[in-house]
Amino acid sequence: MVLIMEKGFTRLKNYLKELNEGILRANKPLRFGLGFLRVSELIQQLYCELKLHYTYSQGVEPEYKRRYIIRKMLDIYLNAEKKAKATNGNFYVKLPLIAPIREIPVIGSPDAIFFERYNPKIILRIRKSRSLKIYPEDEARGLIYGALLEKLGFKINDLKYVIIIAKDLEGLLELIPSISKSIVKREGISIKEKHNVRIAVRVYNSKEAEELINYLLSYWEMLREPRPNPSKSKCYLCKYSRICPYSSLESR
Ligand code: SF4
């Protein structure tokens, strides 16, 4: 069991270092000359890929800014590693994840991961929202982070991703470790009514993750054109609605 932990954590640290040093790069040309992708970029594709395309066509974030993010992630990783050792692998932590998928380094940080005996049990998405609505983007995060843990060599056969949406996060964040434990033990969860919270528990599915990621990466690999995802509310807020032929606004 310890060996599995060491493999996953060691790979994670090595990938973060290699990405920081510029050794780890995509093994194929990517759109806009990017060398690696962030999970937030994959999530934006689900909102509206064409909007992302318009934005990036105007210029991508400079490489030095992206490197700064990696260095910050390395610091977060080193703190997490200390916590893992101090708790003998039973811990709840913010952990940056990175692994090459289809030879493209993909990097991102879930809100938190709950570990038991060094094995990831729950990937958490925690969000404040008045409507308590779950979006496809919330679900996609769980699949992408699950795939990264899997590629890193962590044991994922009992992995869940949990979406927690609350009208008010005050006082709730401290309860997340005990909520996570209850979910792992399949016990009932008790939360005070004042929190007004919605909790969705999903079992990670490798195949579903692979299909989603293959679809998203095919855009970056230039195997297909960007796809629009219009809706009145999205197009209303979009600064490209005047030039976009798919805008759902009537007066373009
Ligand atoms: S106008 Fe609508 S469909 Fe077009 S890019 Fe913007 S959000 Fe997407």
User: Is 247 within a domain?
Assistant: no
Separation between Cα atoms, residue 21 and residue 81, nearest integer Å: 20
Query: What token pair was written down for 72?
Result: 């910050």
Angle (CA) 126-127-133 rounded to 5° is 115
Q: What is the DSSP letter of 61?
A: P
Tens-level pLDDT at each residue, the chain (252 residues): 554 557 899 999 999 999 988 889 898 999 999 999 999 999 999 999 999 999 999 998 887 788 888 889 999 999 999 999 999 888 899 999 999 999 999 999 999 999 998 999 999 999 998 888 999 999 999 999 999 999 999 999 889 999 999 888 877 788 888 888 888 888 777 666 556 888 999 999 999 999 999 999 999 999 999 999 999 999 999 999 999 999 998 765
User: Is 9 within a domain?
Assistant: yes
User: Is 24 within a domain?
Assistant: yes
- The total number of structural domains in the chain stands at 1
User: Is 249 within a domain?
Assistant: no
For atom 5 of ligand 1, the residue with the nearest CA is 51
Query: What token pair was written down for 161?
Result: 């991703």
Separation between Cα atoms, residue 43 and residue 53, nearest integer Å: 13
User: Is 123 within a domain?
Assistant: yes
Query: How far away, in angstroms, is 103 Cα from ligand 1 center?
Result: 30
pTM of the model: 0.92
User: Is 243 within a domain?
Assistant: no
User: Is 143 within a domain?
Assistant: yes
Query: How far away, in angstroms, is 207 Cα from ligand 1 center?
Result: 29
Domain that holds residue 43: 2-237
Cα atoms in the 13 Å half-sphere on the side-chain side of 94: 11
Render the burial of 196-233: b for 16+ CB within 10 Å, e for the rest: ebeeeebebeeebbeebbeebbebbbeeeebebbbeee
Ligand 1 pocket, residue 236 CB under 6 Å: no
User: Is 246 within a domain?
Assistant: no
